[in-house]
Amino acid sequence: MIPAPGRTTVPRRRPGPPGRRAAAVALVTLAVAAPLITASPATADSGLPRISTAPPQKGECVRPSKQHPADVPWPQQYIAPSRAWDTTRGAGVTVAVVDTGVDASHSPALAGRVTPATSDAGIDCIGHGTFVAGLIAAAQQPGTGFAGVAPQARILAVRATATDGTATASSVAAGISTASAGHARIIDVPIALAKGSPELTAAVREATRRGALVIAPAYASSTDVTGSTDGPAPAAYPAALPGVLSVSALGPGGVPDLSQAPRTTPDLAAPGDAVMSVGPGGTGKFTGDGAESATAFVAGTAALVASAHQNLTPSQLSDRLTSTAYHAPADKALVGAGTVDPSAAVTSPVSAWDTRPSAQHREPLRMPSPAAHPGRSRAITITAAAGAVVLVTAFAAFTLPRAGRRGWRPGGTTDPAGR
């Protein structure tokens, strides 16, 4: 065919398969999105040795860490407990850690503020109890940005595990009873059991009667405790018991931990994955994961509140923590509760929340969102950017195949007759 005068034809390139082209666009956009989705503020150094609820292999004790990161860890940026420190740092409040024991002999961050309830509670071969205690109450040391939520609170060390790190309903019940008898105002039990017992229920009830708030993880991060990671996590005890404040974990930037759907509904969420704290045997730092670690941030916040508002009952203290939590739009769908906010919990006026003992059974009051801080603002930006990229990917996957079938070409004209 001879072209008509004045008309220029543009050679047409046969369009590739629409699915292939859409896939290529998706790969490109996801490549752009990946740094945004995975970016997060100051996560724990991946080179740090790990602490878990299980002992090291071959029955050895955790070796001292030689790592001393100087940056402020992401949890301390995200929930910003330092915003409450002009009011209180937890002085006068004792927090019991019912776990593997607490070794404070080598940790200047906890020196002088740890009391072992029994002789074996001052030894921590596994390291988990020391790690949790540091998240609650470690004082900031020169050259490091790490500090506990309530750096002037005292720690009551209570051992509730065997040498292999396992715990039973009986051993946890005994630990809670020891903690309440030791006049702990807050009892952190970073243990999730698949089964409870009448003895455990009675121990929690007695601790509450004595004025202690019990805090525990809504699920276990270790298969050694739950027995399985398939399907929903089993109901967790003591978190499933009345009067216990249950906690779920957040990852860097506030991303919910969705590894298991907990059957025990969380009351609060807090940083728990890729968090940094002290450990046994030295001054170095470790990293850890799980809802067990998240309980420490709630326990530390509870210590701040109890120090600033000394006459609260356990139910009133629990209600203040949940009512002042930061509620992002997806919180309830993803983690079942708002994120603990130390500053709001300490400084919100009493008139803004209900102090009646029955308040914990009602829908939490919606508090004004706390002032933005770098960690939370960065998390919101990351989420928005990732959402925008997903929309672009979906648009490209839908539009380009249709355009290809219609002969669309950038920079050229299409002959209406298809030539």
Distance between CA 277 and CA 145 in Å, rounded? Answer: 11
Confidence band for 25, pLDDT divided at 50, 70 and 90: very low
Least reliable range by pLDDT among 90-104, 210-224, 367-381 = 367-381
Q: Is the peptide bond before 238 cis (omega within 30 degrees of 0)?
A: yes
> Has residue 355 got a pLDDT over 50?
no
Residue 168: how many other CB atoms lie within 10 Å: 17
Q: Please give the structure tokens belonging to residue 326.
A: 């930061």
Q: What is the mean pLDDT of residues 254-261?
A: 75
* pTM, 2 dp: 0.75
> Has residue 5 got a pLDDT over 90?
no
pLDDT of residue 349: 84
Q: Does domain 57-371 bear CATH number 3.40.50.720?
A: no
Q: What is the mean pLDDT of residues 58-86?
A: 92
Closest Cα partner for 43 from 371, 331, 272, 328? 272
Confidence band for 401, pLDDT divided at 50, 70 and 90: low
Distance between CA 404 and CA 400 in Å, rounded? Answer: 6
> Has residue 382 got a pLDDT over 90?
no
pLDDT of residue 386: 46
Distance between CA 290 and CA 302 in Å, rounded? Answer: 19
**CB distance 92 to 312 below 8 Å:** no
Q: What is the pLDDT of residues 263-293, one digit of tens each?
A: 888 999 999 999 999 999 888 999 999 999 9
For the CA atoms of 208, 212, 217, 220, what is the dihedral angle to 10 degrees?
Answer: -80
**DSSP classification of residue 89:** -
Average pLDDT over the chain reads 78
- For the chain, the structural domain boundaries read 18-42+383-419, 57-371
pLDDT of residue 405: 52
Q: What is the mean pLDDT of residues 356-381?
A: 37
pLDDT of residue 33: 39
Q: What is the pLDDT of residues 162-180, one digit of tens each?
A: 988 999 999 999 999 999 9
> Has residue 15 got a pLDDT over 50?
no
pLDDT of residue 282: 86
> Has residue 104 got a pLDDT over 60?
yes
Burial label for 16, CB within 10 Å (0-12, 13-18, 19+), is: exposed
Q: Which residue has the higher pLDDT, 111 or 373?
A: 111
Handedness of CA 346, 350, 355, 359 (dihedral sign): negative
Distance between CA 195 and CA 235 in Å, rounded? Answer: 8
Q: What is the mean pLDDT of residues 372-378?
A: 42
Q: What is the mean pLDDT of residues 389-407?
A: 51
Distance between CA 64 and CA 56 in Å, rounded? Answer: 12
Q: Please give the structure tokens belonging to residue 123.
A: 């030894």
Distance between CA 140 and CA 137 in Å, rounded? Answer: 9
Q: Which residue has the higher pLDDT, 23 or 149?
A: 149
Confidence band for 256, pLDDT divided at 50, 70 and 90: confident
**CB distance 229 to 259 below 8 Å:** yes
Q: What is the mean pLDDT of residues 230-234?
A: 61
> Has residue 1 got a pLDDT over 50?
no
Confidence band for 329, pLDDT divided at 50, 70 and 90: low
In DSSP notation, 25-38 reads HHHHHHHHHHHHHH
Least reliable range by pLDDT among 195-204, 218-227, 365-374 = 365-374
**CB distance 344 to 326 below 8 Å:** yes
Phi, then psi, of 251 in degrees rounded to 5: -95, 180
Q: What is the pLDDT of residues 77-91, one digit of tens each?
A: 999 999 999 999 999
Confidence band for 103, pLDDT divided at 50, 70 and 90: very high
